[in-house]
Chain A
């Protein structure tokens, strides 16, 4: 109880300049995070350098909650590569393995088929209506590395947004009321 009273007191005694200063600090932290994210996008060549695994279709290799590091290059796609791709009209990207490649001269026209390691069937039923093959343009990157469990924070915050608000609110409050 004394801890709460202390923080209430510090809020009451704050001057406008101090408040602004703390807000700017908060802004700088957010900007730094954004800069790091954009720099990662440049370094990896992928618009999404890090993704969280959301389904169990690549188990036991990847489990829900794992984080994947992606890399994108001009190199042609080949069987065995684990790719992250978007389907037209679907929000969530899919992380599966390439099992078939049919390529015209020098990546002219490329047809790709993917499948989750844990699935019995290939991904045709996941593609857009009438689409039998994936195009390289739909692929955001190749998975090159991963960290297990680290993505659970993101999953929890997405599926239970109230936790996100509580966390951000508490963080903001602590930053603003801390005495430096």
Chain B
């Protein structure tokens, strides 16, 4: 089963840019459970925001990376989507945070 998602992302990450911010690395990951693994994280899409001017955006995009599990079928699977942002400084300490959006569900196999 191949999963193809289209995501609509609106974000304003301008407040993360300081004099010491080189870029933001942002990515969207799906988190879900399987019988073997209580925790699975799969990155679906990522982007680099190089400057404050680009940090307020709206984007509609398909997933960049395949939404596929190690072994199990994801039909009907409930999952969270998390938006992560990693602040990469011009020099010094890096830090990161995320926003969790729960309540998504993949269609059943023959849906």
Contact = CB atoms under 8 A, between A and B. Distances in A.
Interface of A: 60-62, 78-82, 97, 99-105, 111, 117, 143-148
B104 interface: no
B41 interface: yes
B94 A145 contact: yes
Interface in B73-103: 84, 86, 88-94, 96, 98
Given A102-B40, A144-B93, A144-B94, A79 B88 contact: no
A41 to B, nearest CB: 19
A123 to B, nearest CB: 13
Kindly name the residue among A82, A102, A117, A146 whose own CB sees the greatest number of chain B CB atoms within 10 A. Answer: A102
Nearest to B38: A105
Given A79-B84, A100-B42, A101-B40, A60 B91 contact: no
Contact of A145 (B25, B36, B50, B93): B93
- Contact-residue bracket for chain B: 20 to 34
Nearest to A68: B94
17 contacts: A60-B48, A61-B25, A61-B88, A79-B27, A79-B41, A80-B29, A80-B43, A99-B65, A101-B41, A102-B69, A102-B70, A103-B39, A111-B70, A143-B94, A145-B94, A146-B89, A148-B91
Contact of B37 (A79, A103, A143, A145): A103
B22 interface: yes
Given A102-B69, A103-B40, 15 more contacts: A60-B23, A60-B50, A62-B88, A79-B42, A80-B86, A99-B42, A99-B65, A100-B43, A102-B41, A103-B39, A144-B94, A145-B89, A145-B92, A146-B94, A148-B90
A116 to B, nearest CB: 12
Contacts of B22: 60-61
Contacts of A101: 39-41
Contacts of A60: 22-23, 48, 50
